[in-house]
Amino acid sequence: MLANLLIVLPIFALILTGWLARRLGALGPNATREVNRVVVYLALPALLFDITANAVPSQIWQPGFLAAFTAGCGTVFAFTIWFRMRQGSQLADAAIDGLNTSYANTGFMGFPLLLAVIGESAMAATLIATIVTACILFAFAIVLIESGLQTETRRRDITRKICLSLPKNPLLVAPLLGGMVMAAGIQVPEALDTYLKLLGGAASPCALIALGLFLADNSGRQPRAGTRVQNNLVALKLIAQPAVTWVIAVPVLRLPSEMAHIAVLLAALPTGTGPFMLAEFYEREALLTSRVVLITTVLSIGTLSLYLALVQ
C-alpha cells in the first residue's frame, strides 16, 4: 500500500497546488478555464501526437491484450452511457460519465505502477492501454459529445455540423496525424520531438492543477446528479471495469497469466483527468467528474493494494 501511496502522492500534490493557488489568490476566477484551454489546445494534442507518432507497430500489436483491455473499457463505457441515459441524462453528459467509468489513468499512474510491480516487460502493454484510453476511447467520446450537443431536428444539418466541428478539434486531429506518421514510418525530427515532449509534458500537471482550481471554486457544492450517481460511477470504475476485463482476459480469451494480470491491473487504475477536461471544456457538469477523479484516486490506494495482495 505504501508503494501505491507514493505513486499517487504527486497527483494529490498537484491538485492541492491548484487548490491553494486559487484559495490564496495567486490565480484568479478565470484560471480554471484558461489552464484547461492550455491543456486542450496545446499540451494534450502535443502529447497525443507524440505517443502515436513514436509508437512502434511491432510493440503495440498484442492482439490478446488489446482485445481484453479494449473490450473491458468499451463494455463499461457503453453500459454507463445506457444506464445514465435511462436515468434521463443527455447524450453529451452520458458520454462524459462513460469516460468517468472507463478512462483509466494509464499515463500518469500506469507506467510507474506497472514498472514497480511487474517490470520492463509491462511497458509495451501499458503504452497500448494509453493509446486505447487517451486516443481511441477519448476520440469516440468526443464524437458522441459533439453529436449530443446538436439540438437541430434535421438529420442532414446535424451531420453537417458534426462533420464541420470534428476536424477543428485538436484532440481528434493530433492522434490521427500521429498515427499517419507512425503508419508511414516517418521519423520525427529530434528538435520537433523535443518540442512535443516539452509541451506534452505539461498536460497532466496542468490538468491536475486545473482540477484543484475547480475544486477550490466549488467547495461545498454537491453535484446536480447527486451522490448516488457519483458513487455508482466510482464503483463502475474501480470494481466493474477490472472485473469485466478479468472475465474477458481469463475465462473468455484465456490469456497468459502475466498478460491477463497486466490488463486487469491497468483497468483497475482510477479515473484520469481526461473526462474532467472535456466536462470543463464543453461546460457540462464538471463537478461530478472532478469528484469521481478525486475519489477514485483516493480509493484506488486500497483497491489496487487489495488486488495485488490477492494475486501475489
Q: Is 225 a residue whose pLDDT tops 90?
A: no
Dist. CA 38–CA 234, nearest whole Å: 28
Those residues whose C-beta lies under 8 Å from the C-beta of residue 1, and which sit 6 or more positions away, are 301, 302, 305
Give the pLDDT band (50/70/90) at residue 153.
Answer: very low
| Cell (9 digits) for 151 | 439540438
pLDDT of 152 reads 46
* Residue bearing the bigger pLDDT, 42 or 152: 42
Cα separation of the two ends of the chain: 14
Q: Which amino acid is at 150?
A: Q
- Ranges 92-101, 118-127, 147-156: which has the least confidence: 147-156
For residues 77-99, average pLDDT: 94
The pLDDT value given to residue 191: 94
What mean pLDDT do residues 234-258 have?
95
Q: Which three cell numbers stand for residue 175?
A: 492522434
Predicted model pTM: 0.84
Average pLDDT taken over every residue of the chain: 86
pLDDT at residue number 81 = 96
Q: CA-to-CA distance for 48 and 51, rounded, in angstroms?
A: 5
Q: Are 171 and 139 in contact (CB under 8 A)?
A: yes
**Percentage, residues of the chain above pLDDT 70:** 91
Q: Which pLDDT value is given to residue 263?
A: 95
CATH of range 2-311; options 1.10.3720.10, 1.10.8.60, 1.20.1530.20, 3.40.630.30: 1.20.1530.20
Mean pLDDT of 144-150: 83
- For range 262-269, the mean pLDDT: 94
C-alpha–C-alpha distance, residues 278 and 259, integer Å: 31
Provide the residue ranges of all domains of the chain, joining segments of one domain with +.
2-311
Reported confidence tier of residue 167, pLDDT bands at 50, 70, 90: low
Mean pLDDT of 118-122: 82
Higher pLDDT, 294 or 80: 80
Q: Flag the least confident range among 34-48, 67-81, 152-166.
A: 152-166
Asked whether residue 154 carries a pLDDT value surpassing 90, the answer given is: no
Give the pLDDT confidence of 55-73 residue by residue, as tens digits: 778 777 889 999 999 999 9
CB 269 within 8 A of CB 106: yes
Write the secondary structure of the chain as one string of H (helix), E (strand) and C (coil).
CHHHHHHHHHHHHHHHHHHHHHHCCCCCCCHHHHHHHHHHHHHHHHHHHHHHHCCCHHHHCCHHHHHHHHHHHHHHHHHHHHHHHHCCCCHHHHHHHHHHHHCECHHHHHHHHHHHHCCHHHHHHHHHHHHHHHHHHHHHHHHHHHHHHCCCCCHHHHHHHHHHHHHHCHHHHHHHHHHHHHHHCCCCCHHHHHHHHHHHCCHHHHHHHHHHHHHHHCCCCCCCCCHHHHHHHHHHHHHHHHHHHHHHHHHHCCCCHHHHHHHHHHHCCCECCHHHHHHHHCCCCHHHHHHHHHHHHHHHHHHHHHHHHHHC
Contact partners, residue 212, CB within 8 Å, separation at least 6: 14, 15, 16, 17, 18, 19, 20, 21, 22
pLDDT at 209 over 80: yes
pLDDT-based confidence at residue 246 (cuts at 50, 70, 90): very high
190 C-beta neighbours (distance < 10 Å), count:
8
Q: Quick check: 305 pLDDT over 90?
A: no
